């Protein structure tokens, strides 16, 4: 089989549907920054017929799964019909929700889909912290009830905790809470310097690179051994133990499948992902006027990524031994910060600049070791 990008085929395995422009919470770290939606105001959501049409066009391209996110996906006025259509189409279901609207009925409907995986955001082990992050009073207890409803429906949801200065000391408590609730895993997200998250980095509310690297070691080497839950600390692959990357326990090589996914925004636009909400350069067309096959096959940015990843990655990402798996960690983030698809990921760049990037994961160290061995053999 040829390894040339132009000779490969790229099935469209998964579509990320950003179903709503609005959200019922006001999270201070959100990388999309949707508009706040309450009982008194609402914002556009993806048209149901358009949703069905996109899936119909995607099936011949290799579609196997759907991810529903937002805004807040459960805000969609026809979320029941959307879930039923996914079930009828026999597609894998992934849902990212804040849990507030996760009723027993919706939980059961998600559980009835193929291979359902639901994650619920929970950023503190008590109301004060969680609601400081999420910006709406009362959302802690409703999120907990949403998790309980999912568990009662037979699911073991993932809890997503975005780590920042305000809540970093509650990480171990979160593991214990997740065990008590019946969750299946925890993902510790790093606040990304995008949209609202960028303001948190500027203000010092986000953690420094040294703190993030140290926390990663602690989660990988200590906290994970204290629980039967799967723990995933969302730092780049270069910082993860090889045993975790290639594990067979469902907590192995989780990376953005940039070459096999496509985003659909709430207005029906095709985009690289939700980044299209704030970076129009990464919007490719519209489902009302463009055939999905044409977008997937001929979009200049998608073609450029297929030809360029990973060998065109720059900076420390270009020298990283994990680049064929990692693919720059988050191309959308890299482009947001630099308007360059090949720019290094901010985390790795900052770590490298401060001498915190693992030497054993760089091509230069491997070459140096090889050259040393050659010199020794000559002598």
Query: Helix (H, G, I), strand (E, B), or coil: what is residue 166?
Result: coil
Q: What does the alpha-carbon distance between residue 124 and residue 122 come to, in Å, rounded to a whole number?
A: 6
pLDDT at 368: 46
Mean pLDDT of 113-125: 98
pLDDT at 1: 41
pLDDT at 7: 54
pLDDT at 375: 32
pLDDT category at 6 given cuts 50, 70, 90 is low
pLDDT at 242: 85
Q: What does the alpha-carbon distance between residue 41 and residue 140 come to, in Å, rounded to a whole number?
A: 22
Q: What is the pLDDT of residues 20-73, one digit of tens each?
A: 999 999 999 999 999 999 888 889 999 999 999 999 999 999 999 999 999 999
Ranges 11-15, 39-43, 303-307: which has the least confidence: 39-43
Mean pLDDT of 103-121: 98
Packed helices 346-353 and 209-221: angle between N→C axes, nearest 10 degrees: 100
pLDDT at 204: 97
Mean pLDDT for the chain overall: 92
Mean pLDDT of 281-296: 97
Mean pLDDT of 116-145: 98
pLDDT at 114: 98
pLDDT at 39: 85
Mean pLDDT of 76-80: 98
Mean pLDDT of 196-200: 95
Q: What is the pLDDT of residues 339-371, one digit of tens each?
A: 999 999 999 999 999 999 999 999 875 444 444
Packed helices 127-134 and 139-152: angle between N→C axes, nearest 10 degrees: 100
Q: Are 84 and 48 in contact (CB under 8 A)?
A: no
Name the nearest CA neighbour of 349 among 357, 360, 339: 357
Residues 6+ apart with CB under 8 A from 246: 252, 253
Residues 6+ apart with CB under 8 A from 178: 159, 186, 229
Mean pLDDT of 312-329: 96
How many H helices and E strands in the chain? 16, 12
Q: What is the pLDDT of residues 136-182, one digit of tens each?
A: 999 999 999 999 999 999 999 999 999 999 999 999 999 999 999 99
CATH number of 8-245: 3.20.20.70
Q: What is the pLDDT of residues 223-257, one digit of tens each?
A: 999 999 999 999 999 999 987 776 644 444 456 78
């Amino acid at each position: 089989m040829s390894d040339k990008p132009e000779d490969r085929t790229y099935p469209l395995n998964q579509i990320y549907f950003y179903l709503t422009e609005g959200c019922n919470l006001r999270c201070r770290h959100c990388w999309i920054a949707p508009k706040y939606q309450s009982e008194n105001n609402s914002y556009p959501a993806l048209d149901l017929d358009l949703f069905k049409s996109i899936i119909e066009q995607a099936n011949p391209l290799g579609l196997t799964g759907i991810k529903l996110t937002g805004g807040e996906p459960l805000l969609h006025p026809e979320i029941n019909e959307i879930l039923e259509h996914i079930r009828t189409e026999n597609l894998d279901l992934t849902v990212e929700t804040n849990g507030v609207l996760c009723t027993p009925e919706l939980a059961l409907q998600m559980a009835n889909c193929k291979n359902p995986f639901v994650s619920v955001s929970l950023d503190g082990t008590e109301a004060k912290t969680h609601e400081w992050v999420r910006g709406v009073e009362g959302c802690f207890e409703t999120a907990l009830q949403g998790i309980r409803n999912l568990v009662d429906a037979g699911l073991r949801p993932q809890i997503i905790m975005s780590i920042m200065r305000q809540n970093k000391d509650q990480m171990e408590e979160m593991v214990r809470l997740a065990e008590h609730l019946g969750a299946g895993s925890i993902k510790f997200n790093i606040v990304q310097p995008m949209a609202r998250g960028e303001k948190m980095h500027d203000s010092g509310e986000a953690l420094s690179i040294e703190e993030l690297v140290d926390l990663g070691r602690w989660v990988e080497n200590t906290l994970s051994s204290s629980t039967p839950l799967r723990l995933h600390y969302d730092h780049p692959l270069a910082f993860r133990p090889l045993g975790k990357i290639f594990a067979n326990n469902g907590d192995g090589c989780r990376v953005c499948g940039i070459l096999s996914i496509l985003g659909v925004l709430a207005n029906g636009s095709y985009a690289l992902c939700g980044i299209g909400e704030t970076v129009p350069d990464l919007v490719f067309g519209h489902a009302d006027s463009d055939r999905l096959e044409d977008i997937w096959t001929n979009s200049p940015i998608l073609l450029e990524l297929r030809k360029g990843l990973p060998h065109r990655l720059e900076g420390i990402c270009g020298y990283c031994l994990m680049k064929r798996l990692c693919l720059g960690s988050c191309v959308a983030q890299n482009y947001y910060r630099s308007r360059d698809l090949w720019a290094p990921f901010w985390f790795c760049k900052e770590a490298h600049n401060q001498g915190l990037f693992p030497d054993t994961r760089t091509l230069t160290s491997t070459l140096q070791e090889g050259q040393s061995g050659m010199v020794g053999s000559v002598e």
